[in-house]
Amino acid sequence: MKYCAIAVAVLLFVAACQTEAPASEAQPDEPAEMVRVAAPEGAAAYILAPEDGATISGGEVKVVFGLAGMGVAPAGVDFPETGHHHLLVDVAELPSMDLPIPADSNHIHFGKGQTEAILTLIPGTHTLQMLLGDYRHIPHDPPIASALITITVE
């Protein structure tokens, strides 16, 4: 009888631990709020090359990224005061600050910690902007973004 009472108590305890959250709390269709990593004061991203207003012949553009007040670390590496570069090509406005930066032909990720790249761009006018992401590809708070530059490819 004593063992039966203990078994019932254990079963009740396990059942209580496995109850689901009320429907009002469970919202699986909504993305979880992403807490942004604080940016160190004075941190800045910039594009070293090409210069704003440059004209490039041949379609291949070497882009060199600059970062001050922080270090560069690969995506997935959660190390204080670091991030990795994302290059926004022909993007009119910054992406959402509360979600990972998109990965597509206009939002190029450099998750291995690269600090430069060679792009092939079609002839015409293009804009370039750097945006630093944390280890999860989420912009810092406040965002660390370069000035938007304009180049012409011939």
- Domains of the chain in start order, with CATH, are 44-153 (2.60.40.10)
* pLDDT tens, position by position, 122-141: 999 999 999 999 999 999 99
Averaged pLDDT in 10-residue chunks for the chain of 154 residues: 42 39 42 79 97 94 97 96 97 94 96 96 97 96 97 96
Contacts with 101 (C-beta within 8 Å, 6 or more apart), sequence order: 86, 95, 107, 109, 131, 133, 137, 138, 139
